[in-house]
Structure 1
Amino acid sequence: MQIEKIKGHQTDQLFKAVLELKNLEECYKFFDDLCTMSEIQSLSQRFEVAHLLRLKKTYETIKNETGASTATISRVRRCFDYGNDTYDEMLGRLYPEEQPFDAARK
């Protein structure tokens, strides 16, 4: 786990603030103030790449649908393979009816 690399007071403060957000509108306002448009788009794109990987879409399809580079797609894929399983966990909460990325590897 690489979580230890990002742990600290500032990160704790940020994450606690995110956990205090009450609805989607508050999220939009908070992230609009916190991030540049490019940063928000990048985070959103990665999450959509994760969603499409979970649906077993090909790299080519993902690239065409999201505009993500193959490097970005590969990075997200590595998180599925070696990360903390949070993409799959969050997508499972958002889309409980969908089949997981690779149930056999868990």
Structure 2
Amino acid sequence: MEVGSKLRDPLIDRLFEDILLLESKEECYRFFADLCTVGEIKALAQRLEVARMLYDNKTYAAIGERTGASTATISRVKRFLEYGAGGYSLILTREQTRKKKTTDAVEGKRTREENAGGD
């Protein structure tokens, strides 16, 4: 889905280009600590965790209990997860792919070790 023209702006383009220059989690912490308040960062993190839990079909009650998010926030995230620009789904799908690759690599190593030990 296309991102609305209200969001597209040369300053925002530059912000996102600069974020893409960050090379580590530590650099992200440093940059966002200077850019945002702690509350703003926590709100972003909370929304993403709500999206993860919705993606995993968790209930509003479970999501609220774990994240502290209000039902209004959960509903808003759900609406964007279902009808938004696809950003949440993009990240969540990539996370699942990364987890699967990691799991497959661990399982492959374990299988190789078991096979090597059986000789």
Short-chain TM bin: 0.7 to 0.9
User: Aligned residue for 2:9?
Assistant: 8
Q: Shift in Å at residue 67 of structure 1?
A: 0.1
TM superposition score normalised by structure 2: 0.77
Which amino acid in the other structure matches residue 29 of structure 1? R
Q: TM-score, normalised by structure 1?
A: 0.86
Structure label with greater radius of gyration: 2
1:69 aligns with 2:65: no
AA aligned opposite 1:90? I
Aligned equivalent of 1:101? none
Q: Structure 1, residues 39-83: CA drift from partner, whole Å, max 9, x if none?
A: 000000000000000000000110000000001000100012211
Amino acid paired to 1:55: D
How much has 1:88 moved relative to structure 2? 1.4
Where do residues 74-93 of structure 1 align in structure 2 (5 Å cutoff)? Answer: 74-93=75-94
- The aligned counterpart of 2:107 is none
Percentage of identical aligned residues? 47
Could you list the runs of 5+ residues in structure 2 that have no partner in the other structure? 101-119
* Alpha-carbon distance in 1 for matches of 2:3, 2:86: 13
For the aligned residue pairs, the C-alpha RMSD in angstroms reads 1.4
Q: Which residue of 2 aligns with 1:26?
A: 27
Other-structure match for 1:40: 41
SS at match of 2:32: helix
Aligned to 1:102: none
